Amino acid sequence: MAHPHIELAADGSPIVRGTRVPVRRLWAWHRRGTAIETLLKRYPNLGWARLLDALAFAYDNQELVTADLEREREALGTDTLPPEATQTALPFSGRK
């Protein structure tokens, strides 16, 4: 399936076209319970179409995105996201 808003970076990681936002980052936050609206606030330059296409790409290519996350974890030597699906309240989120 074509994903017009996704391209591969030089290292083979899928990213959102025209940005440096890796699909793995959006996928990891989404899978841990982060709301789409929160992702849009965190990455306002993406807009709905690119964000949803990135998540659709991740669902269509779970093995590739999961392998990309594992490469990142190995390179950094740690998990790059909080261990539980809790969200930090942002100043503009209305959450306390």
For residue 75, what pLDDT is reported? 86
Domains in the chain: ranges and CATH = 6-71 (1.10.10.10)
Assigned token pair, 45: 């330059």
Which pLDDT value is given to residue 76? 85
The DSSP string of 27-84 is HHHHHTT--HHHHHHHSTTTHHHHHHHHHHHHHHTHHHHHHHHHHHHHHHTS-SS-SS
The predicted pLDDT at position 27 comes to: 95
- Give pLDDT tens digits along the chain (96 positions): 799 999 999 999 999 999 999 999 999 999 999 999 999 999 999 999 999 999 999 999 999 999 999 998 888 887 655 454 455 566 665 555
pLDDT of residue 73: 87
